[in-house]
């Protein structure tokens, strides 16, 4: 399998680009069970091996363990937070899209991975319906419905659902708390742009934030969504001078190119059938708060 490196990066990220939708552990497995040439020369395989734009990669898999990952390869790491006859809440890892993308049908979606997991567990086909989405590089709580009727009920009352995120940013906001309101619109460059006033095809967006603490060189914010527009948190924090670590698309340093340090960590809503108040919280792994691995000064201790 051949691949031309499109930007300066490392070997592991190149493998993830070659096999779109796979996780880092799967990419490491492919690395371990493959013969790799860089510009025609054998190299000492290392996940952090630096590669430059224009480098040619030739990858040959040596055995079945290095096959292109299938949906079933992901099911071992499924983490379900809550499930009943009507709902299921699970943790979506960074690196997977939430639901099938018609523009990229070959990419594995977390939605289908979860369906496959349920089908294997129950011994029969299972179907679930997406209620909302997280960006590909965002991790955390995702809510699915077990029927289209329940999906519609939740969507109709989505404004009543409390949705909070943790964002690790490169800068501390000038004001420790505040609300950002403007209008957002997709641009031709696949980025979202904002406007102070409503323009044609724009949609109103409202984000509330609260500074929590400084962690080494970074800053942790709790973010509450009042609307759910594409890339809303990412562009709002970027525009106030606090880009999210890893989000170089919206102004962050490109030192950390893979995961955007944004996590959907809290969901609160009334059950669509019983009316019971439900509240769920997800705590990201310590590596989420520690982009510079092994550096003691970035150790994280979240205080509530």
Please give the Cα distance from 190 to 284 (Å, whole number). Answer: 28
Which residues, listed in sequence order, are joined to residue 188 by a DSSP beta bridge?
Answer: none
> Would you place residue 38 in the very low, low, confident or very high pLDDT band (cuts 50, 70, 90)?
confident
Q: Name the percent of the chain lying above pLDDT 90.
A: 49
pLDDT (0 to 100) of residue 122: 87
Cα–Cα dist 211/201, whole Å: 32
Confidence of residue 47 (pLDDT cuts 50, 70, 90): low
* Distance between CA atoms of residues 197 and 35, nearest Å: 55
Residue in the block written with tokens 């019971």: 276
In this prediction, residues 267-296 reach a mean pLDDT of 85
Vertex 131 angle, CA 144 and 98, to 5°: 75
Report the chain's C-alpha Rg in angstroms: 20
Which amino acids are annotated catalytic? 135
182-206 pLDDT, tens per residue?
999 888 667 888 899 988 888 999 9
> Measuring CA to CA, how many Å separate 29 from each of 20, 131, 173?
15, 33, 40
Spatial separation of the C-alpha atoms in residues 291 and 218, rounded to whole Å: 9
Dump pLDDT digits (tens) for 196-250: 998 888 899 999 999 999 998 899 999 999 998 989 999 999 999 999 999 988 9
pLDDT at 102: 57
Q: What is the pLDDT of residue 45?
A: 65
Q: Is pLDDT above 90 for 68?
A: no
Residue 63 predicted with pLDDT over 50: no
Share of the chain above pLDDT 70, in %: 85
What CA–CA distances, in Å, run from 102 to 7, 19, 99, 135, 216?
A: 26, 18, 10, 15, 41
* Domains of the chain: residue spans and CATH: 2-60 (3.10.290.10), 70-156 (3.30.2350.10), 159-304 (3.30.2350.10)
For residue range 73-131, what is the model confidence (pLDDT) as tens digits?
A: 455 568 999 999 999 999 999 988 998 765 555 578 899 999 999 998 888 889 999 99
| Predicted pLDDT at 206 | 95
pLDDT in tens, 140-186: 999 999 999 999 999 999 999 999 999 999 999 999 999 999 999 88
35 has pLDDT over 60: yes
Q: Is 121 helix (H, G, I), strand (E, B) or coil?
A: helix
The span from the CA of 148 to the CA of 86, in Å, is 10
Question: What does the alpha-carbon distance between residue 275 and residue 273 come to, in Å, rounded to a whole number?
Answer: 6
Rounded CA-CA distance 288/167 in Å is 10
pLDDT at 69 over 70: no
Higher pLDDT, 34 or 296: 34
Instruction: Write the burial class of residue 165 (CB in 10 Å: 0-12 exposed, 13-18 middle, 19+ buried).
Output: buried
Q: Given this model, what pLDDT does residue 187 score?
A: 80
* Confidence at residue 81, expressed as pLDDT on a 0 to 100 scale: 94
**Which residues does 133 contact at the CB level (< 8 Å), separation at least 6?**
97, 98, 99, 142
The strand pairing partners of 89, in sequence order, are: 82, 143
């Amino acid at each position: 399998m051949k691949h031309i490196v499109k930007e300066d990066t490392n070997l592991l990220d190149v493998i993830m680009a070659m096999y779109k939708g796979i996780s880092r552990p799967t990419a490491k497995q492919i690395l371990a069970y493959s013969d790799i040439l860089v510009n025609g020369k054998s190299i000492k395989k290392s996940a952090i091996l630096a590669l430059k734009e224009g480098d040619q990669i030739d990858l040959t898999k040596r055995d079945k363990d290095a096959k292109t990952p299938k949906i079933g390869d992901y099911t071992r790491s499924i983490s379900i937070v809550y499930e009943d006859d009507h709902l299921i809440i699970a943790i979506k890892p960074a690196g997977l899209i939430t639901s099938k993308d018609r523009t990229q049908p070959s990419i594995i979606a977390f939605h289908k991975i979860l369906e496959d997991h349920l089908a294997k567990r129950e011994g029969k086909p299972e179907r679930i319906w997406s209620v909302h989405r997280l960006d590909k590089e965002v991790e955390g709580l995702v809510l699915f419905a077990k029927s289209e009727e329940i999906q519609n009920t939740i969507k109709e009352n989505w404004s009543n659902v409390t949705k909070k995120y943790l964002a690790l940013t490169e800068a501390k906001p000038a004001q420790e708390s505040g609300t950002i309101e403007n209008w957002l619109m997709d641009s031709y460059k696949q980025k979202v742009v904002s406007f102070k006033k409503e323009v044609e095809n724009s949609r109103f967006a409202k984000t509330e934030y609260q500074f929590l603490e400084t962690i080494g060189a970074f800053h942790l914010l709790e973010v509450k969504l009042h609307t759910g527009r594409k890339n809303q948190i990412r562009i709002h924090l970027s525009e106030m001078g606090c880009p999210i670590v890893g989000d170089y698309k919206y102004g962050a340093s490109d030192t950390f190119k893979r995961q955007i340090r944004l996590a959907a960590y809290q969901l609160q809503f009334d059950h669509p059938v019983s009316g019971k108040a439900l509240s769920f919280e997800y705590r990201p792994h310590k590596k989420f708060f520690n982009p510079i691995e092994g550096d003691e000064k970035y150790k994280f201790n979240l205080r509530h």
